């Protein structure tokens, strides 16, 4: 997200809303006659890690835009195993207009991007999750309108979702407060970039703590994510123990400002957030999930110059 200028971020969010207005279920536009700006275009979708929202949103969104998508799971190609990353990038670039990659290592995204001759979209890596941040920011703007001056509190693991959310939030003028258990802090380099963006955009300095309630106090948005990401299953018992006190429940939400909302990128687990909060009017998780489609549509259209 920090690779985007503030104007480019604003443009993608506005285009995402335009996609929803045009193709959404509330639209009066006939799906048959709706614009198909990506007719004749295609996206190859590399998935080292499974996902409901990323796959369904991309395939459905590309179809609505008139293009085609091709799912490439671990059993379809052996990325960087039997064929080098460089060769994969060069071959897919000959077939497809875009490459979307959901991978374990961020270096894989960088390697694909280095050698591909078409745009490469990061659909998730261990360091970043920019498409999720676009969906989150869209949900917050839908709810609050202008989010400048609002305070966003993160409670949980200092992971890829946090990284882009604090970058994007700072670019939109949000105050960032982060609570992570000791040993689970955000990437130091990304944290420093966030602090610079906060200063550039006139927000408060990034607040860091290991106490969940301290981060949530005075916040307008409370966000958490899974404590155990894919590939960390063997650490489950240890992580659940070390994240004790980090569940977002009614008591914790009560520390936030009146009217505060809750976000979670899904899938969720009960230890991370109580049902009372997850299914409450404060929860924006399902509009947030829907926005994954409008935002990836906007990114694909923008990358191909079909605005």
The set of catalytic residues is 265
Give the H or E element holding residue 296: helix 285-303
Query: Phi, psi at residue 138, to the nearest 5°?
Result: -65, -45
H helix runs in 50-207, sequence order: 52-64, 85-95, 106-115, 130-144, 160-171, 188-200
Distance CA 220, CA 131 (A): 22
CB-based contact 177:10 (threshold 8 Å): no
The closest of 130, 125, 129, 285 to 221, measured between CA atoms, is 285
User: 223 is written with which tokens?
Assistant: 């966000």
- Environment class of 3 (CB within 10 Å of its CB; exposed 0-12, middle 13-18, buried 19+): exposed
Backbone φ and ψ for 110, nearest 5 degrees, come out as: -65, -40
Quote the CA–CA distance of 91 and 160 in Å, as a whole number.
28
Closest among 150, 293, 162, 182 to 223, alpha carbons compared: 162
Q: Could you give the CA distance from residue 133 to residue 130 in angstroms, rounded to a whole number? A: 5
For residues 59-93, one letter each, b for 16 or more C-beta atoms within 10 angstroms of the residue's C-beta and e for the rest, the string is bebbebbebbbbebeeeebebbeeeebeebbeebb
Q: Which residues contact 57 (CB under 8 A, 6 or more apart)?
A: 292, 293, 296
């Amino acid at each position: 997200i920090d690779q985007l200028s503030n104007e480019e971020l604003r443009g993608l969010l506005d285009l995402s809303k335009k996609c929803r207005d045009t193709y959404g279920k509330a639209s009066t536009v006939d799906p048959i006659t709706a614009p198909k700006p990506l007719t004749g275009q295609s996206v190859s979708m590399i998935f080292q890690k499974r996902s409901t929202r990323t796959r369904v949103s991309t395939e459905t969104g590309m179809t609505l835009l008139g293009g085609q998508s091709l799912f490439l799971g671990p059993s379809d190609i052996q990325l960087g195993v039997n064929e080098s990353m460089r060769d994969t990038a060069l071959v897919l670039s000959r077939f497809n207009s875009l490459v979307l990659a959901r991978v374990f290592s961020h270096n894989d995204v960088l390697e694909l991007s280095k050698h591909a001759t078409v745009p490469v979209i990061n659909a998730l890596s261990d360091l970043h999750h920019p498409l999720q941040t676009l969906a989150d920011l869209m949900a917050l703007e839908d709810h609050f309108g202008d989010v400048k001056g609002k305070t966003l509190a993160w409670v949980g693991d200092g992971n890829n979702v946090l990284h882009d959310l604090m970058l994007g939030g700072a670019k939109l003028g949000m105050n960032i407060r982060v609570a992570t258990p000791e040993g689970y802090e955000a990437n130091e380099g990304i944290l420093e970039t966030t602090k610079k963006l906060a200063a550039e955009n006139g927000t408060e300095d990034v607040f860091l703590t290991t106490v969940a309630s301290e981060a949530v106090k005075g916040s307008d948005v409370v966000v958490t994510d899974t404590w155990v990401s894919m590939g960390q299953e063997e650490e489950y018992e240890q992580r659940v123990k070390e994240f004790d006190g980090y569940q977002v429940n009614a008591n914790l939400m009560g520390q936030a400002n009146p009217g505060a909302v809750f976000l979670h990128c899904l899938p969720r687990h009960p230890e991370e957030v109580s049902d009372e909060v997850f299914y409450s009017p404060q929860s924006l998780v399902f509009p947030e999930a829907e926005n994954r489609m409008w935002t990836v549509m906007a990114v694909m259209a923008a990358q191909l110059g079909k605005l």
